[in-house]
Amino acid sequence: MSEKQIPYKIYLEEAEMPKQWYNVRADMKNKPAPLLNPATLEPMTAEELGAVFCEELVQQELNETDRFIDIPDEIQSFYKMYRPAPLVRAYCLEKKLGTPAKIYYKFEGNNTSGSHKLNSAIAQAYYAKKQGLKGVTTETGAGQWGTALSMACSYFDLDCKVYMVKVSYEQKPFRREVMRTYGASVTPSPSTTTEVGKKILAEHPGTTGSLGCAISEAVEVAVSTEGYRYVLGSVLNQVLLHQSIIGMETKIALDKYGIKPDVIIGCAGGGSNLGGLISPFMGEKLRGEADYQIIAVEPASCPSLTRGKFAYDFCDTGMVCPLAKMYTLGSGFIPSANHAGGLRYHGMSSTLSQLYDDGFMEARSVEQTAVFEAAQQFARIEGILPAPESSHAIRVAIDEALKCKETGEEKTIVFGLTGTGYFDMVAYQKFNDGVMMDYIPTDEDLKPGFDSLPKVDK
Amino acid sequence: MSEKQIPYKIYLEEAEMPKQWYNVRADMKNKPAPLLNPATLEPMTAEELGAVFCEELVQQELNETDRFIDIPDEIQSFYKMYRPAPLVRAYCLEKKLGTPAKIYYKFEGNNTSGSHKLNSAIAQAYYAKKQGLKGVTTETGAGQWGTALSMACSYFDLDCKVYMVKVSYEQKPFRREVMRTYGASVTPSPSTTTEVGKKILAEHPGTTGSLGCAISEAVEVAVSTEGYRYVLGSVLNQVLLHQSIIGMETKIALDKYGIKPDVIIGCAGGGSNLGGLISPFMGEKLRGEADYQIIAVEPASCPSLTRGKFAYDFCDTGMVCPLAKMYTLGSGFIPSANHAGGLRYHGMSSTLSQLYDDGFMEARSVEQTAVFEAAQQFARIEGILPAPESSHAIRVAIDEALKCKETGEEKTIVFGLTGTGYFDMVAYQKFNDGVMMDYIPTDEDLKPGFDSLPKVDK
């Protein structure tokens, strides 16, 4: 098909939308290492996981054999309200850069959560409802995941208790109000509603909270309240499974026009978007059917893949969750306070960590002023104000396109535009005012995190 | 075509997108009254208008005869970056309401300006660029129009000077930062950059500004700066022309599935969205080819159509702009401070005013707590957090659907969902906290506005 026929935006027809999620672990020769019980250091059983997570989600978490898992009709219906997400040909950006490269992006921001997070939130809420639960608990930092879960719970008439890091609760009141509009209860963390919260408040009276503390509170409420479970928006295998909808749609859209990408780029914090975007392409690569250059992009100030260790670590700062084997900076690692661009998680999905360790993808770290320069350029040319997280992928996509300009290569570049930056204007203001700083931790800075890694002989 | 085949969202193919705007005035027997020069009370000539507005836009403003006007290729290309806007079948809302009515909404919020305003902003920026201008000036209140114009000017590499009502500038820093990210200069109004601004500051040192004052400053800068013109986001005929893209796309999408609407509903402030949405349907009605119930919805606290007078009035509070014949509450009218829902303009597009006066459409006013109840219900069921403005249309759409539930009528209802409410969370918070109030002005409250109407014998 000639290039002229490729529209600015490719929207799949409803009939073309995926009806199954793709489980990349089924095609991995080296499976991701299992979650370990922090007390026994033995693999977590389904029963143990079932105390915290919904039953069917536990099955998905442990499923390493089924390549495809049916998307229930109710979730397909919800997906139809805001999906398919468009695959956009960045004609204007290509022209401005003067590159022979062809650039596409999968835009996940056309929903009120402002990101791809809704893809897994609706699945997790559905299984909670199916199990007859009354509600779910979770934590949120910036608020994207909390918003997505609030929307999903509202749709299925489930109670939703969100523990929001206190400093975000106070500094991002608008995110909080979106969640409240969807009927969620939002509690600043640490709070007096939990034992762990009370303990932390007693020890650190002036604390503004942390994601680790909010996780601990959310988990405590889930396991101690009849009819509740805890849900998480990234890192887990089940989340990557649900997010495979991103990559599946992308692949169907590309195949429809006979386009084969050369480079696939995604930002990576816990791995939910990257894992979802690349999954069907990675599947082809694992099965030896095709080859792609796959690039994970992370902040230079939180470089888990590029500078972390591949080791068992706690998933949360509070050290109450299972241990996961992953590329990690240590659960005690906290990015510099001047880091504005999201993707702050100290570790990385076990699945992606294994794939990276096995050489199936590469990783790059980028500094935040360069990220916001790319964000501003993209906004002005392509019209969409991107989330800081997404802008990490934009940065590398532009860099790759400029390389093609030098070499004359007509590569096809696909990147994930995970969301919009409408609730991130404080960071944009710093950039607009010229006061945004870069920060690359020294080896000395990283040492305490590595020293805090648990001693696990696996 | 059977109902089952109608998807959740109808996206036109690029090839199906309109290539012309529709000029409803060509089909009106009673044309809208001309703009008058406030000094001479004679109709404004093209030359007089050309001192303030771009040449080609003046031609469009005065054009009452051409039914269709070609959309320039450059604007069509830009439209392809964020259009077609989806026409969404509100299956979930219908189910929740238990109504036999079929509800559709045209969603204009899938772009960074967050509303339909971009449709006219890009057109006005294009004609300014074509004329060889250096830049444009405008005013903005809440910031939707200013954002849209900033995006459009950035695309065409035009300077953009926005005068933002001071209270909004301070209370809505995020909107301001979006505009700055797109390269616009944003000045709080009143300012010391203009004579009129200095005069107002001298007379009212503590003033937080008004839209009328910001208009006066923007116009002063436009007429006194070489290579600049003033642009406006609503009320004018040219704006309704550009916004006809909304209705044209809607009609093509409906026709594609053989759907004939019974009721068409739009919110109305200055009339840009309503005028655009209804235009091709109104055309059929004017030509006697079809009949539709067309409903304009306005806030009870700013009821220009339902309680205003049809008379010549100033378009701005500062009384520097031409006079327009329209339904108006008087240019001195200011809605109650507790009004949070937008649509604050004291008048209404001359074209819509004439159509309303001639009985081609009806109008309803709604109170804001009822509007936010509808907004919350819609968000929870359909997933999109609507702008307060758009929620006026949602309110009446739900009311009409509930009437159908009583009567058993299977009416097809189409409404305009003009945008998203992501920058309106202060208003949502008031509603969430239960402290939002209603306000209906008494006849006594409206008297000063009516008394301020200029004496024009036309």
CB contact under 8 A, B383 and A81: yes
The strand order across the sheet containing A135-140 reads A185-189, A159-165, A135-140, A228-230
Burial pattern B313-352, b for ≥16 Cβ within 10 A else e, equals bbbbbbbbbbbbbbbbbbbbbbbbeebbbbbbbbbbbbbb
Average pLDDT, chain B: 94
**How near does any CA of chain A get to the CA of B236, in Å?**
25
Q: How far is B61 from chain A (nearest CA, A)?
A: 27
CA distance B61 to B233: 13
- Residue A236 Cα, gap to closest chain B Cα (Å): 25
Question: Which residues from chain B sit within 8 angstroms of residue A382, using beta carbons?
Answer: 81
The β-bridge partners of A127 are none
- pLDDT exceeds cutoff 60 at B1: no
Under 8 Å between Cβ of A244 and A21: yes
Mean pLDDT of B322-340: 86
Confidence (pLDDT) at A319: 75
User: Does a cis peptide bond (omega within 30 degrees of 0) precede residue A84?
Assistant: yes
Would you call A80 and B174 a contact, using CB atoms and an 8 Å cutoff?
Answer: no
For B110, the closest of A14, A110, A154 (CB atoms) is A110
Lowest mean pLDDT among A79-83, A120-124, A407-411, B337-341: B337-341
Which of B80, B91, B382 is nearest residue A8 as measured by Cβ atoms? B80
What's residue B3's pLDDT?
52
CB contact under 8 A, B112 and A383: yes
Distance CA B424, CA B430 (A): 10
Determine the distance in angstroms separating the CA of A321 from the nearest CA of chain B, rounded to an integer. 32
**B387 contacts in chain A (CB < 8 Å):** none
- Rounded to whole angstroms, the Cα distance separating B387 from B425 reads 9
Query: Nearest CA to B436 among B378, B380, B391?
Result: B391
- In chain B, the percentage of residues whose pLDDT exceeds 70 is 98
Mean model confidence pLDDT for chain A: 94
* Minimum CA–CA partner of A82 in chain B: B383
Amino acid at A181: T
Considering only CB atoms, A379 lies closest to which of B174, B181, B383, namely B181
Q: Pairing between strand A102-107 and A412-417?
A: parallel
Confidence of residue A1 (pLDDT cuts 50, 70, 90): very low
Question: Å from A46 to nearest chain B CA?
Answer: 33
**pLDDT of res. A458:** 67
CB contact under 8 A, A380 and B183: yes
Q: Can you tell me the distance from the alpha carbon of B421 to that of A182, in angstroms, rounded to the nearest whole number? A: 13
- pLDDT per residue as tens digits for the range A173-192: 899 999 999 999 999 999 99
Ordered alpha helix ranges (H), A192-236: 195-203, 211-224
How many C-beta atoms surround the C-beta of residue B226 within 10 A? 6
Residues of A in contact with B80 (CB under 8 A): 7-9
A237-264 in b/e form (b: 16+ CB < 10 A) is bbbbbbbbbbbbbbbbbbeeeebebbbb
C-alpha–C-alpha distance, residues A80 and A66, integer Å = 25
Whether B92 and A80 lie within 8 Å, measured CB to CB: no
Subunit contact A181:B432, Cβ cutoff 8 A: yes
Domains A3-16+73-114+244-451 and A22-70+117-230 in one fold:
yes
| CA B90 to mean position of chain CA atoms | 23
For residue A189, give Cα distances in angstroms to A206, A268, A331, A403, B123: 12, 25, 18, 45, 48
Residues from chain A contacting residue B104 (CB–CB below 8 Å): none
For residue A147, give both structure tokens.
Answer: 């918003």
Give helix B173-181 / helix A368-382 axis angle, nearest 10°. Answer: 80
3-state secondary structure chain B: CCHHHCCCEECCCHHHCCCEEECHHHHCCCCCCCCECCCCCCECCHHHHHCCCCHHHHHHHHCCCCCEEECCHHHHHHHHHHCCCCEEECHHHHHHHCCCCEEEEEECCCCCCCECCHHHHHHHHHHHHHCCCCEEEEEECCCHHHHHHHHHHHHCCCEEEEEEEHHHHHHCHHHHHHHHHCCCEEEEECCCCCHHHHHHHHHCCCCCCCHHHHHHHHHHHHHHCCCEEECCCCCCHHHHHHHHHHHHHHHHHHHHCCCCCCEEEEECCCCHHHHHHHHHHHHHHHCCCCCCEEEEEEECCCCHHHHCEEEEEECCCCCCCCEEEEEECCCCCCCCCCCCCCCCCCCCCHHHHHHHHCCCCEEEEECHHHHHHHHHHHHHHHCCCECHHHHHHHHHHHHHHHHHHHHCCCCEEEEEECEECCCCHHHHHHHHCCCCCCCCCCHHHHHHHHHCCCCCCC
Given an 8 Å threshold on Cβ–Cβ distance, is A380 in contact with B182?
yes
Write down the domain spans for chain A.
Answer: 3-16+73-114+244-451, 22-70+117-230
> Distance (Å, rounded) from C-alpha A145 to C-alpha A151?
10
* pLDDT of A266 over the 90 cut: yes
pTM: 0.95
| Paired residues of B107 in beta bridges | B417
Q: Mean of the pLDDT values across residues B201-229?
A: 89
Q: Give the amino acid at A442.
A: T
Q: Report whether pLDDT(A51) > 70.
A: yes
Set of chain B residues whose Cβ sits within 8 Å of the Cβ of A82: 383
Chain B residues near residue A379 by CB distance under 8 angstroms: 112, 154, 181-182
Of residues B394 and A143, more confidently modeled: B394
- Rounded (10°) angle between helices A368-382 and B144-155: 90
Which amino acid is it at A146?
G
Residues B141, B267: Cα–Cα separation, whole Å: 18
Q: Are A318 and A213 in contact (CB under 8 A)?
A: yes
Task: Tell me the mean pLDDT in the region B62-81.
Answer: 97
Average pLDDT over residues A130-144: 94
Helix A173-181 vs helix B425-432: crossing angle, to nearest 10: 50
Contact state of A385 with B178 under an 8 Å Cβ cutoff: yes
pLDDT at B455 over 50: yes
ipTM of predicted complex: 0.94
Q: Work out the pLDDT band at A343, boundaries 50, 70, 90.
A: confident
Nearest to A138 by CA among A122, A162, A107, A174: A162
CATH classification number, B22-70+117-230, choose in 3.90.1300.10, 3.90.1170.50, 3.40.50.1100, 3.30.70.260: 3.40.50.1100
Burial class (CB in 10 A: 0-12, 13-18, 19+), A455: exposed
- Partners of residue A186 in chain B, C-beta under 8 Å: none
What is the average per-residue pLDDT within B240-259? 98
Determine which of B422, B426, B430, B436 to mutate to test the interface with A (most A C-beta atoms within 10 Å). Answer: B422
Interface contact A379-B180, CB threshold 8 A: no
User: Mean pLDDT across the stretch B392-414?
Assistant: 98
Q: Residue A293: what pLDDT? A: 98
Closest CA to B155 of B182, B186, B119: B182
Q: Which of A279, A274, A275 is nearest to A248 (CA)?
A: A279
Contact criterion met (CB < 8 Å) for A182 and B154? no
Give CA–CA dist B432/A175, Å, rounded: 13
Q: How confident is the model at residue A23 (pLDDT cuts 50, 70, 90)?
A: very high
Query: Which residue among A111, A376, A385 places its CB closest to the CB of B112?
Result: A385
Q: For residue A177, give the nearest of B110, B178, B425 by CB distance.
A: B425
Q: Please state the φ and ψ torsions of residue A327, each to the nearest 5 degrees.
A: -70, 125
CB A18 within 8 A of CB A252: yes
The C-alpha atoms of residue B101 and residue B413 are separated, in whole angstroms, by 7
Contact indicator for B199, B178 with CB cutoff of 8 Å: no
Fold of B3-16+73-114+244-451: Rossmann fold (3.40.50)
DSSP class of residue A303 equals -
Q: Which amino acid is at B4?
A: K
